[in-house]
Amino acid sequence: MERGQTGGGKVYWGWYIVGAAFLTMGINYGSRYCFGIFVRPIALDLEWSRSVISVGASLMILSYAAGGIVSGRLLDRMAPRWLITLGACALGAGFLLMSVVRTPLQFNLTYGILCGAGASFFGVVVCNSYVGKWFVRKRGVAIGIASIGIGAATMILPFVAGFAVKGYGWRAGFAVLGILVLLVAIPLAQFFMGRTRPEDYGLATDGEAPAAVSAVGAGQGSGLEPASAVSYASFFGDSRFWTLAFCFSIAVMAEMLAFVHQVAYATDQGIERLRADASLSLIGLGSIAGRYFFGWLSDRIRDAKYSACGGFAAMALGIVILMQFRTLYGLYGYALCFGFGYGSIATVMPYLLADRFGSRVLGTAYGMLTFFVVAAGSLGPLLGGFIYDRTGSYDFAWKLCLALLVLISLAVITLKGRGEPL
């Protein structure tokens, strides 16, 4: 098959990249989003407080954030296959080493540092930025479909990890996840993600004629500036960058607090363990719909910032359901609604960046934004564990999440467009 041909029954190579990104991001995020399943078993087995465990979870997120700057910058300069392979090796090794940890230091170094850094090299920064370089007209849908992999894996892998933990213990659960990461991500990267841009294959974005793409790109902020000409100062001095950083930082903080602590919260309410584990899968199911819907919506409305507003509002509604209905059905209703809203993040954030700053520097811009967003988001698990240890419940944590999500739903509307004065 000739890469990129669209005529005569041939499929544009960019859609194969979308499929590979779907599976690659799925195994990355799906495996890490299972962590909530491990919190209580680790605490009981090793006699650690939830605050101690939350420190490791927060370190993982910080390492992921720091790695995002490096990986995003490198993506604008080299083939993604080697970034993804390196990251998969690190994350897979980290999970395998988790099966033998005995001390908090080992836990922090293995899960907190190694897993976080490895995940950053084949996360949304690399995969969604790479997809974004191949599409202009269909960028929202393409990124949305690729990001659905996160939701699909989040729906499936908690069952895999949950059964492994229940049948063989939490150490076996981590070993299973490590093997899956290595077997899935590395072959996909090596076969499908060879070159950085469609131009490197002699192709145009969207599989269209170069003239058509140029016309579209001029109107949609595809960007023509070379990555080498872009400085970090150009982003730091732009209020649009900081508006995005503030809003998505809060969203990710709420997201990570929920993922790490919702299973423990549910079991504290008397919900049976495997049924509580299923709430993670339902978040994944909700996010599948959210990722496609908000990608589709972003391609069709005047400004994708309104998609972001809708996503944040849906997350807030999910928290309301969780607080009001402390039953299994309330937990599942929260998971579907919260997941639908959370699904907007990975889709809308690179879309807004490409629209405001251009696709040629999307890797650099996305990496920088991810650093601030994820670094702030790392406070979520730590905050949830701290509140629980001090108050004996998660009630105040959920109230805080709700207030912040309402705030950013309003704040994102103030985001200036590419042609508007700052």
- At 354 the pLDDT is 76
- At 310 the pLDDT is 94
- At 309 the pLDDT is 94
Write out the two tokens for 280.
């993670």
Mind listing the pLDDT tens digit for each residue in 274-324? 888 888 888 888 888 898 899 889 888 878 899 999 999 999 999 999 988
Band (231; pLDDT cuts 50, 70, 90): low
Q: Which residue has the higher pLDDT, 297 or 362?
A: 297
Most confident of 152-166, 207-221, 301-315, 405-419: 301-315
Residues with Cβ < 8 Å from 187, sequence gap 6 or more? none
> Residue 221: how many CB atoms within 10 A of its CB?
18
- Report, as an integer, the average pLDDT of 3-11: 53
Write out the two tokens for 230.
């872009």
pLDDT above 90: residue 27: yes
Write out the two tokens for 399.
């109230």
Q: Which residue has the higher pLDDT, 256 or 121?
A: 121
- At 232 the pLDDT is 58
- Report, as an integer, the average pLDDT of 93-110: 94
pLDDT above 60: residue 4: no
- At 373 the pLDDT is 82
pLDDT over 70, % of the chain:
85
Whether 199 and 136 have beta carbons less than 8 Å apart is answered as no
Whether 204 and 118 have beta carbons less than 8 Å apart is answered as no
- Domain 13-414 part of CATH 1.20.1250.20: yes
Most confident of 1-10, 37-46, 331-340: 331-340
Measure Cα distances from 406 to 254, 255, 315, 357 in Å. Answer: 11, 14, 9, 27
Backbone angles phi, psi at 421, to 5 degrees: -65, 140
Which position has the token pair 């729906």?
155
- At 7 the pLDDT is 43
Mind listing the pLDDT tens digit for each residue in 170-202? 999 999 999 999 999 999 999 888 766 777 666
Q: What is the DSSP string of 354-394?
A: HHHH-STTHHHHHHHHHHHHHHHHTHHHHHHHHHHHHHSSS
Mind listing the pLDDT tens digit for each residue in 54-84? 888 888 878 888 887 788 778 777 778 899 9
Does the reported pTM lie above 0.75?
Answer: no
pLDDT over 90, % of the chain:
32
Band (411; pLDDT cuts 50, 70, 90): very high
- At 362 the pLDDT is 65
pLDDT above 60: residue 228: no
Rounded Cα distance, 363 and 156, in Å: 29
Residues with Cβ < 8 Å from 156, sequence gap 6 or more? 30, 281, 284
> Measured at the alpha carbon of residue 243, what is the angle toward residues 347 and 232, in degrees to the nearest 5?
90
Mean residue pLDDT across the chain: 83
Backbone angles phi, psi at 149, to 5 degrees: -55, -35
- Report, as an integer, the average pLDDT of 102-118: 94
Whether 24 and 84 have beta carbons less than 8 Å apart is answered as yes
Write out the two tokens for 55.
């420190």
Band (45; pLDDT cuts 50, 70, 90): very high
Residues with Cβ < 8 Å from 201, sequence gap 6 or more? 3, 4, 13, 195
Among residues 288, 312, 318, which one has the least CA distance to residue 154?
A: 288
CA 68 vs. chain centroid, Å, equals: 11
How far is it between the farthest Cα atoms of the chain?
65
**328-357 vs 362-377: helix crossing angle, rounded to 10:** 140
- At 382 the pLDDT is 82
- CA distance from start to end of the chain: 47
Domain parsing of the chain, residue ranges: 13-414
